Amino acid sequence: MIAKMNKFSLLIYHKEYEGFLEKLRDLGVVHVEIHTNGEVDDSLQALLRKHSYYKNLLKEVTALDTAPAKAGSLPQSDLSAEAVDEQFEALKEHLQKLSAQRASLEKEIAQMEIWGEFDWKRVEALAENGYFIHFFACPERNFDEAWVDAYNAMVIQRKGGQCYFITVGKEPVVSVEAEAVRLPQASLSGLQDTCLAVKGEIEQEEAQLARFCASNKSVLESALIRLEEEIDLLKVKFGGEKKAAGALILLEGWAPEDSSDAVCALLDQEGVYYDMRPAGLEDDAPIKLKNNFVTRGFEALTKMYGMPDYGEFDPTPLLAPFYALFFGLCLGDAGYGVFLVLLGLYLKKKVSPSMAGMMNLLITLGVAATLVGALVGTFFGVELVKLDLPESVKRWMIVGKFGDTSYDMTMAFALMVGMVHLCFAMTVKAVCQTVRYGFIHSLSAWGWLLLVGGSVASATLHYLGVIPLDVFQLSLMVIGGVSAIGIYLLNNIRRNVFMNIGVGLWDTYNMATGLLGDLLSYLRLYALGLAGGMLGGVFNSLGMQLRDSMADVLWGIPGWICFGLIFVFGHTLNMALSCLSAYVHSIRLTFVEYFKNSGYDGRGTMYKPFSSVEKNNK
């Protein structure tokens, strides 16, 4: 549900404004409205730029934090954020120079490996005695054998279509059609030793940089928190409206109904003139969701799409059971669901209190996957219907073919779930429009609900044999006639009837094409569950085959080890892929099919109280 809000309008004397804001922030329950007048404050812009810079710096430091995370192994840093930035850049610059030096050495080594190991001092000694050695390279097809006699040419290596050779003589060689090669004035072994030393230095510098990042990451995190608090304070400070030639400042904000007494007590204590009134449905009040511990974890999905308006409803309790059902159908395995429950219970004791809600969501989804997996008859890839279970248990499983058709029961069940979900969304839309705008202005929504929901209900009753064919046909005519009045004639009582008919025809086209596509989208529930179950069964079969093939080796122990490895690896991989698919596609069915047909926009403003960052994160 949506927490009820009260709106506060405050008048503060300008000299007491900053001190009052500090006390208001300490209270931490008022969502302050920021009024911009087009002016850009230089101090705020400077803080925003600094915050952006430190945020990027923290990302870089976090990425380089590869030091072992042992308790007490790293000293507490006493540096300031500016000093951390300066030293980090110096360490990074030194590491970049070493990396450039290593790249240069590796390039020189690659050059010298062609010519092999030789001593430059001997080359210089030959030059002093009048013998010059020149290094050349040319394409193999251009090498002239006459150069061997004319210039004492000696081929050193042929590689990559190139011929590398030297000439020895008392005269410089000028008429050879080859490229003179300039080599580094160091031996191959010397270059390799230097490169090895540089690599060792780089490893030391990388380790030092990783330790530095691990020790000082908290410094940047604290600096970011302080900057965010300063930014929030300045936004609120400049967000008030000046009144009475700047002597008074008007500040407006919202507080939850259960926190309003604390706000009033502060305002009375500070002697601030204020006005408080309950938020109306027409107000753009910030939204604070209040749900029980089961559905609270699903609030993350609502926030991901968008918060409702204050005059709307909280969709979280309505989407929670369907999302859990979709997740269970996509996962399609009771064994995987049990594992998720156990994993959630274990992690709930390890994670921070702020993450406990996500673990509750994981446990809830695990329970749903367990129940749905048992319903579709799969446990770690094993088909339960093939086991020796009581018939009273198997009777509840959705397995086999649907009636006399060739369609699987699970596929038909997925389509039935989809139809129920769409009809439920249309019901929500009709009810919400009635609450917000009145029944007379929501006749089109009720007409479509009657047409779709009534037709499905009548067809279901006829299929089950509850009503005969003639009653079914009569009910369809009545439903169609009544629905047409709301859809084509009274969809907007303020418009011309012919305009209403045109709009109704356009809505009919959209519903006919969109509703069918939406319904078929629910087949993904069947397809993903089937794929996960088949893949799990394949891993089981592979493990059993290996176990049977080694049944006579060392009493079958190696076979059981291979079976265990394949079982653990295969099902871990399958579970990870299935959970990812279940998460994504369940969100897709909720965000697209449900929210579209329920008329939910999600354009509300999230409740963000003016408070310290640490307090907001609790």
User: Which pLDDT tens digit goes with each residue over 13-54?
Assistant: 878 888 888 888 888 888 888 876 545 567 778 888 888 888
Q: Would residue 96 count as lying in a domain?
A: no
Looking at the structure of the chain, the number of domains it has is 1
Q: Would residue 389 count as lying in a domain?
A: no
Residue 299's pLDDT band (cuts 50, 70, 90)? confident
Mean of the pLDDT values across residues 349-358?
Answer: 76
Query: Which of residues 44 and 522 earns the better pLDDT score?
Result: 522
Report the pLDDT value the prediction gives residue 36, as an integer from 0 to 100.
63
Query: Which of residues 261 and 397 earns the better pLDDT score?
Result: 261
CB 273 within 8 A of CB 10: yes
HSE at residue 301, side-chain half, CA atoms within 13 A, is 28
**Which of 527, 524, 523, 517 has its CA nearest to residue 597?**
517
Residue 69's pLDDT band (cuts 50, 70, 90)? very low
Q: Which domain holds residue 151?
A: 118-186
Residue 353's pLDDT band (cuts 50, 70, 90)? confident
Q: Is the pLDDT of residue 156 over 60?
A: yes
The pLDDT tens digits of the residues spanning 306-350 come to 888 887 788 888 888 999 999 999 888 888 999 999 998 888 888
Report the pLDDT value the prediction gives residue 14, as an integer from 0 to 100.
78
Alpha helices by DSSP H, listed for 28-168, are 42-64, 81-115, 120-128, 146-151
Q: Would residue 84 count as lying in a domain?
A: no
Q: Would residue 144 count as lying in a domain?
A: yes
Q: Would residue 174 count as lying in a domain?
A: yes
Residue 613's pLDDT band (cuts 50, 70, 90)? low
Q: Would residue 79 count as lying in a domain?
A: no
Q: Would residue 125 count as lying in a domain?
A: yes
Residue 97's pLDDT band (cuts 50, 70, 90)? very high
Mean of the pLDDT values across residues 161-187?
Answer: 87
CA–CA gap between residue 359 and residue 347 (Å, rounded) = 7
Mean of the pLDDT values across residues 104-129?
Answer: 89
CB 256 within 8 A of CB 286: no
CA–CA gap between residue 571 and residue 58 (Å, rounded) = 37
% residues pLDDT > 70 (the chain): 96
Lowest mean pLDDT among 2-11, 325-334, 457-466: 457-466
Report the pLDDT value the prediction gives residue 616, as an integer from 0 to 100.
53
Q: Interhelix angle for 81-115 vs 42-64, to 10°?
A: 50
Residue recorded with tokens 């929501």? 442
Q: Give the chain's mean pLDDT.
A: 84
Query: Which of residues 8 and 437 earns the better pLDDT score?
Result: 8
Q: Would residue 460 count as lying in a domain?
A: no
